[in-house]
Amino acid sequence: MELLQNLYTGFSLAVSPTNLLFAAIGVIYGTITGALPGIGSVTAVALLLPLTFTMNPTTALIMLAGIYYGVAYGGTITAVLINVPGDSSAVMTTLDGYQLALQGRAGPALSIAAIGSFIAGTISTIILMGLAPPLAKFALRFGPPEYFALAILAFSLLTAFEGRQPIKIVVSTLLGLLIATVGLDVVSGLPRFTFDSPQLLGGISFVTVIIGLFGIGEVLSSVEQEMRLDFLRAKFRLRDVFPTWQDWIASRWAILRGTIIGFLVGILPGAGATTASFLAYLSEKRLSKHPERFGRGAIEGVASPESANNAACIGAFAPLLALGIPGSATTAVLLAGFMIWGIRPGPMLFQRNADLVWALIASMYIGNLMLVLLNIFFIPAFVAVLRIPYTILMPLIVVFSTMGAFSVNNDLFDVWLMLGFGVLGYLMKKLDYPVAPMVLALVLGPFAENSLRQAFIISGGSLSIFFTRPISAVLMGLAILAYLYPLIRWAVKSVRQVTTAATDLISARR
């Protein structure tokens, strides 16, 4: 009963004209930017974050959240029509979505993706309603050692899920932690890494870093290559858009399985929607009675990853709201927004800012309904917008990035910082260093440092406090396993290769 009362309160706030307007702005903007290759949800949210500083926090969060899961919808459009994912979470959709488009079935592919995302988003929001409050109550048992261990676990899971180049992930994380230490030491009050610059005494603005890394960094990267979007000549009349009954039969369980996989992966810090879509697609192919159809235009090969990436977006809000730990790079940007508005996500959020939380959750139902209608009935309009030349689009991104960086402190110093981080983002992309660990470390760095110092004060400087308290001991153990996971995987692979070689040698001698 209390849950329904809270949801009613949330809807009463979310359906106000102002909140509905900004929810619509968020999902439309998110869909368009999600469809533009290379921009992604982090950039889309970061570019508009400075504009929300003077807004009501509830309205701002509703809009930014709409952008986040709107990108997951929009990334499907170019994935299906031109075989180029608008967002990394739509990579798996290209495998079957483009093949369906070549067969003249782009409309059903886009519709099943939109409807699957709507079902996944709705189910995930229901699970979020039930999961987040008890998770927040459990987190009331957390002290400084537990919060530090949780931050370390968040960093380590990036190593486990990103996987291929763990050293680069660790380097990116350490770089983010280093940037987070710039400014005044909260304990001693002494300046750290400020180089006698008064502008750095307050630290480096998270917004400036994000806009530089993703906005300017993407522009610099795009300058090297001419982006041409060659769309298929597909029909988008109303009767050509909806999936057939056979498509529904083939996709119904794929949507449900993708939803479950996506939400479970989404609540893990560092996993993200991309990982969720990969796992959902691979599991669907493994469970299929006709796996040979995948990659050749299987409709369930679109439904499953699209359901998973949207469910993961909603799932990422669970650790953010209940624990104050972002589940993805985009929710890390949202966490920075919370802090800018003077709100600290975590166990007390459901008590101190209950109206904000439930209005945000209620807006997810509304936003997903808006998105499914937009992505079925307005596909031709989005395709027309996407034909804007990149020679026009990229200068606009530079203009908005500059305005956003300057608006942080009304200081040109932040603009120069943004340009510097833009160059850093470009170099990291060229050298194949992941940016997500750096973003996560930048947000969680001060939080982890304060928790570490408080834990040492409690224990008198002893590390044993992290291993003698049950919750922190479990979290630290999981973090250690996650960091060792690449090494364990390498050892298992080496043993298999040696075993295979030995078996082949024995067989050859016989």
Q: Which residue, 213, 180, 118, is CA-closest to 443?
A: 180
- The answer to the question of residue 502 being in a domain is no
CA separation for the pair 260, 279 (Å, rounded):
11
- Give me the residues paired with residue 184 across strands: 191
Q: Using the 8-state DSSP alphabet, how is residue 183 labeled?
A: E
Residue 305 burial by CB count (10 A; 0-12/13-18/19+): exposed, middle or buried?
A: buried
Task: Report the alpha-carbon distance of residue 86 to residue 95 in Å, rounded.
Answer: 14
d(CA 146, CA 470): 9
Q: How many domains does the chain have?
A: 1
- CB 84 within 8 Å of CB 40: no
Residue 183: beta bridge partners? 192
Distances (CA, A) of 95 to 217, 234, 251, 476, 505: 28, 18, 16, 38, 38
Position 112 in a domain: yes
Domain residues for the domain of 324 are: 2-468
Q: What is the DSSP letter of 90?
A: G
Report if residue 503 sits inside a domain.
Answer: no
| 116: in domain | yes
Cβ-proximal residues to 363 (8 Å cutoff; 6+ apart), any chain: 10, 14, 19, 23, 62, 65, 66
Question: With 0-12 CB in 10 A as exposed, 13-18 as middle and 19+ as buried, what is 499?
Answer: exposed
Task: Centre a 10 Å sphere on the Cβ of residue 293 and count the other Cβ atoms it contains.
Answer: 17
Instruction: Report the distance separating Cα 289 and Cα 286, nearest Å.
Output: 8
- Asked whether residue 480 is assigned to any structural domain, the reply reads no
388 is a domain residue: yes
CA distance 458 to 460: 6
**Is residue 200 domain-resident?**
yes
Residue 128 lies in a domain: yes
Task: Walk along the chain (510 residues) and give the pLDDT tens digit of each residue.
Answer: 677 787 788 888 888 888 889 888 988 888 887 777 656 777 788 777 777 777 888 888 888 888 888 887 777 777 777 666 666 677 778 778 878 777 777 778 888 888 888 888 888 888 888 887 787 777 777 788 888 888 888 788 777 665 567 788 888 888 988 888 888 877 777 888 888 888 888 778 777 887 787 777 777 877 766 555 555 555 555 566 677 778 777 777 888 888 888 888 777 765 667 777 877 887 787 777 777 777 777 888 888 888 888 888 888 888 888 877 777 777 777 887 787 777 878 777 777 888 888 888 888 888 888 888 877 777 666 666 556 666 776 777 777 778 777 776 777 888 888 888 888 988 888 888 877 778 778 877 887 888 888 888 888 888 888 888 888 888 888 888 888 877 887 788 887 877 877 777 777 666
Containing 58, the helix (H) or strand (E) segment is: helix 57-81
Residue 305: predicted pLDDT: 85
Contacts of 278 (CB under 8 A, 6+ apart): 91, 92, 305
| AA letter at 10 | G
Q: What is the pLDDT of residue 96?
A: 80
Would you state the pLDDT for residue 38? 59
